[in-house]
Amino acid sequence: MATIETKIAALRQAAISSPEYAAITPFFTALYEYLRGREGASGITIDLSGVDCAERIGNGFPLVSPSNLSVDRDVLTAFLAGVVRVLKQQGKEGDESLGKISLALSSHRIDCEGLLLAIMERRRASLDEASVTLDVPAPLLEFIFEIPLKTALEQCSGRIPADAFQDWQENICPVCGSRPGMAELAGEEGRLHLCCSACFYSWQFKRMKCPTCGCEDTEQLSYFTAGEGPTRVDTCRACSRYIKTRDARRGGGNVPLEVEDLLTIHLDLLASREGFERGK
C-alpha cells in the first residue's frame, strides 16, 4: 500500500518535472496533506473478524460488504467538514454548494451512513435524491463522501497480503467489490494486474480480456498511446469502455497508480473523443 507521503512526493515531483501538471497537483496535494495522519480517523470502521473469507472468495464475493461497516457519525462529520474546508481553500468548486454541504453536516441534515452505503452499492438514485434535497451537484457530494470511504477501505486492504487472492478471476476487487480504476503490466512476463478504484488493492487478471464486459475477442480489443509515457489506453469495442494501463517495465513504477491516474487525465480526454467511456 502506497503511503500518503509517497503520494504527496509523487505529485510534487510531477509538478517540478512536468509544468503542465502544475494546475492540478496543488489541489490533490492539499487533500493528501489533510489525510496525512488522519488515515484512522475517518469515522468508518470495517470489521472482518466474523467473515468467512475462504467461503466468500470461493463463491465469487468480495471480503467487504456494507454490513461490515460501522460509522461514528460525529467523527465522520468532523472528517467531512475538514474535507469541505480544503475544497473551499483550493477554490475548485463553488463556495455556495460547499457552504450548503457544510451547513447540512453541522445541522445533521445528511444521512451520512446512507450515502456511504449508496456509494458502495452503486445506488445512484439515493445520491441524486440527496443532491436535489441539498441543492448541490451530485458529483460533488459523491466526491466528498468517497474520500473517507476510500480512506477506510485502503486501510483495510493494506492489511491483506498481495498474494491473498491468486485464484480470483473476477473483474471486481476481491477486497471491496469496486471496479478497477487502472491496470498495470509488471514483471518480466508483463503480467496484468488491476488496481481497485476505491481501496487500491491490486489483483492479477487475464491480459487479453476486457475488465468491464469480459470480452476476449482480440478483434474487439485494442489500445492507443499518446507521447512517450509508460501509460496507455486499453479499449474494448464490444462495450465501448476503456481502462488506462501502465507498463511498469517502461518506468514509472515508483508512482502510485492512484497518482498516475491523476497525472494522465489527458488520456481520459482522448479516450472520450474516440467514443469510449471509462469502465464502471
The pLDDT value recorded for residue 176 is 95
The pLDDT value recorded for residue 233 is 97
The pLDDT value recorded for residue 189 is 82
Give the mean pLDDT of 104-123: 92
Task: From 124, 118, 131, select the one nearest 69 (Cα to Cα).
Answer: 118
pLDDT at 246 over 60: yes
Mean pLDDT, the chain, integer: 92
Classify burial at 173, counting beta carbons within 10 Å of its beta carbon; exposed 0-12, middle 13-18, buried 19 or more: buried
The pLDDT value recorded for residue 178 is 94
Higher-confidence residue of 187 and 276: namely 276
Classify burial at 239, counting beta carbons within 10 Å of its beta carbon; exposed 0-12, middle 13-18, buried 19 or more: middle
pLDDT at 95 over 90: no
pLDDT at 93 over 70: no
CA distance 133 to 43: 24
Contact 244, 261 (CB under 8 A): yes
pLDDT band per the 50, 70, 90 thresholds, residue 213: very high
Higher-confidence residue of 69 and 18: namely 69
Higher-confidence residue of 46 and 23: namely 46
Give the mean pLDDT of 70-81: 96
Contact 116, 71 (CB under 8 A): yes
Report strand pairing: 191-196 vs 202-204. antiparallel
Task: Write out the H or E segment, with its range, that includes residue 105.
Answer: helix 95-106
pLDDT at 92 over 60: no
Cut 0.85: pTM above it = yes
Task: From 242, 245, 192, select the one nearest 213 (Cα to Cα).
Answer: 242
The pLDDT value recorded for residue 90 is 87
Tell me, rounded to whole angstroms, the distance of Cα 58 from its chain centroid.
25
- pLDDT tens string 158-194: 999 888 898 898 999 999 999 999 999 988 788 999 9
pLDDT band per the 50, 70, 90 thresholds, residue 198: very high
The pLDDT value recorded for residue 37 is 95
Higher-confidence residue of 218 and 21: namely 218
Give the mean pLDDT of 134-151: 96
Residue given cell 493528501 in the structure block:
32
Percent of the chain with pLDDT over 90: 79
Percent of the chain with pLDDT over 70: 99
pLDDT at 235 over 90: yes
- pLDDT tens string 47-58: 998 888 888 888
